[in-house]
Amino acid sequence: MKKRNVLIFVFTMGFFIASVYTYLHGAQQGAAPQPIIKQVVPIEVPQGAEMDIIIRGSKFADGATVSFSGGIIVNSTTFDSAKKLIVNISVPSAESLGKKKVTVTNPTGKPGIKPNALGVVEGVPTTPPAFKAGDTIPGYTLKAPWGSRAEIKASGSYSSGQWTVFMTRALKTSATSEDVQFDGIGSGSEYYFSVGVLNNAKGTVTTMAVLDGSRYILGNESSTTANLKAKNETPTSASTFTGTEFITTGNSAEGVPPVTLKAAYDSKNLYILTTWSDSTEDLKKDQWSFDGTTWTRQSMDTGYDEDRIAIWWDVADSTHTMAQGCANLCHLTGGSTGQGRMGTKNSGEIADLWHWKAARWNPLNFADDQYGIYADPTNTSVDTRKSDTGGGIDSSNSTGTPAQPAFMAEDDPGANANFLMGIPSGAKRAITFTP
């Protein structure tokens, strides 16, 4: 009886020890199960790339290692969760094309393998495309204006040999010394102005001073003396102006076309519509041109300029002689050369300038708000064409010695863009959201 009890005891203890061993061995195996690989993202990588990829699946353990067939090098493996690993890899530039096997191995566990999980495709050439002869880059970068310089909204379009420019400005502004105030137009006030069109004009005194030697008057529809009569309405486009049109004199001898104008006003704004004939649409200003070796900036003095229109308004001149067209206002010699000095002829005179520019201001739907002061011929160092307070749109796109463009388009070389948009420091370009 005693012998039987001993046998039972020994048998029981052996079974217990075997059970404990089996349990502990199974627990050890369970701590690092065989990983399952479901997906590698992206599914293709180019030759020569160094990048992060994501391996999705299940049963990944912290400390898991990753390897690929072929020559792909694993730089690091980051455990994100039991379902996700982030792997940084380097693909040799001479790596063979085609599908590669990926292996994930947990610590002290069996490896998980997925054949044909990652494809290697032909890499992007490491040498970027080069600029070629004939390529161009805009001469200015553009950004949104602010302050008083942003008071003239303008939209210009070119079609069938004609420019159409629609300008809007508040009747009354805070820049009372620089801007003409139109708040009296409804009660019968009149305003003297002149108009000059610059059709890609070569910037010389001779050409600029004879654009249109006439002065004109803006009034409301009740005026008996106004040339341009503004209708009390709120146009929203060129086609919704219903008032009477007025056509300026122009200067046929110099090839300066007459300008057709319409005007409107409401309780807030003055609206001016201008149209004129132009055989070409010129959207370049100081453009950079590449000859295959050197970048050269084309200047307006070589007959290379943007299309523009300028409207001068009388701000301070009791005799209104300064509003007698560009013969009295534009680019007076005053002892200077080249373009000359744009200003008024008599001390104390101020002219408000609405200056629409096809290349520099039209892309952002503004006209430059400037003004002219007395151009004293005995003091030619004074800049007599000034800008209203605030900030302007255009900045010169030039740097270095010898000079070259400071900026180019995102898709250069070869974009040959008409204008460049400058992004403020810290801002990013907006793209379509991808969740």
Over residues 381-401, the mean pLDDT reads 86
Query: 1 or 276, which is more confident?
Result: 276
Q: In percent, how much of the chain has pLDDT > 90?
A: 58
| 316-320: long-range contacts, CB 8 A cutoff, minimum separation 24 | 316/348, 316/349, 316/350, 317/192, 317/344, 317/346, 317/348, 317/349, 317/350, 317/351, 320/192, 320/215
Q: What is the amino acid identity at position 400?
A: G
pLDDT score recorded for residue 245: 97
pLDDT score recorded for residue 343: 65
Q: Per-residue pLDDT for 8 more than 50?
A: no
Residue among 262, 260, 261, 309 at smallest CA distance from 282: 309
Q: In percent, how much of the chain has pLDDT > 70?
A: 78
Q: List beta partners, residue 374.
A: 344
Calculate the CA 48 to chain-centre distance: 32
Over residues 280-303, the mean pLDDT reads 86
pLDDT score recorded for residue 45: 93
pLDDT score recorded for residue 434: 65
Q: Per-residue pLDDT for 374 more than 50?
A: yes
pLDDT digits (tens, 9 = 90+) for 341-358: 566 666 777 889 999 999
Q: Are 33 and 41 in contact (CB under 8 A)?
A: no
Q: Which of 75-84, 246-255, 365-374, 415-424 has the lowest mean pLDDT?
A: 246-255
- Residues 393, 63: Cα–Cα separation, whole Å: 55
Sequence-distant (6+) residues with CB within 8 A of 261 are 195, 228, 245, 246, 247, 248, 272, 273, 274
pLDDT score recorded for residue 27: 46
Question: pLDDT averaged over the chain?
Answer: 83
Q: Per-residue pLDDT for 16 more than 80?
A: no
Query: 59 or 2, which is more confident?
Result: 59
- Residues 336, 346: Cα–Cα separation, whole Å: 17
Query: 328 or 126, which is more confident?
Result: 126
Calculate the CA 284 to chain-centre distance: 16
pLDDT score recorded for residue 328: 47
pLDDT score recorded for residue 255: 72
Reduce the secondary structure of the chain to three states and give it as a string: CHHHHHHHHHHHHHHHHHHHHHHHHHHHHHHCCCCEEEEEECCEEECCCEEEEEEEEECCCCCCEEEECCCCEEEEEEEEECCEEEEEEECCCCCCCEEEEEEEECCCCCEEEEEEEEEEECCCCCCCCCCCCCCEECCEEECCCEEHHHCCEEEEEEECCEEEEEEEEECCCCCCCCCCCCCCHHHCCCEEEEEEEECCCCCCHHHHCCCCCCCEEEEECCCCCCCEEEEECCCCCHHHCCCCCEECCCEHHHCECCCEEEEEECCCEEEEEEEEECCCCCCCCCCEEECCCCEEECCHHHCCCCCEEEEEEEEECCCCHHHCHHHHHCCECCCCCCCCECCECCCCCEEEEEEEECCCCHHHCECEEEEECECCCCCCCCCCEEECCEECCEEECCECCCCECCCCCCCCCCCCCCCEECCCCCCCCCCCCCC
Q: List beta partners, residue 46.
A: 121
pLDDT score recorded for residue 335: 40
Over residues 114-143, the mean pLDDT reads 88
Structure tokens of 143? 């950004």
Sequence-distant (6+) residues with CB within 8 A of 234 are 264, 266, 269, 271
Q: Per-residue pLDDT for 67 more than 60?
A: yes
pLDDT score recorded for residue 410: 85
Q: Per-residue pLDDT for 4 more than 90?
A: no
pLDDT score recorded for residue 18: 47
pLDDT band of residue 124 (cuts 50, 70, 90) is low
Core vs surface per residue 83-112: b (16+ CB within 10 A) or e: eebebebbbeeebeeeebebbbbbeebeeb
Q: Are 72 and 91 in contact (CB under 8 A)?
A: yes
Q: Which of 39-53, 58-72, 267-281, 368-382 has the lowest mean pLDDT?
A: 368-382
pLDDT score recorded for residue 31: 56
Query: How many other CB atoms are there within 10 angstroms of residue 163's CB atom?
Result: 25
- Residues 304, 287: Cα–Cα separation, whole Å: 8
The domains of the chain, with CATH numbers, are: 36-121 (2.60.40.10), 136-421 (no CATH)
pLDDT digits (tens, 9 = 90+) for 194-253: 888 877 654 443 444 456 667 899 999 999 999 999 999 999 999 999 999 999 988 777
Q: Per-residue pLDDT for 65 more than 90?
A: yes
Q: Per-residue pLDDT for 259 more than 70?
A: yes
Over residues 305-333, the mean pLDDT reads 66
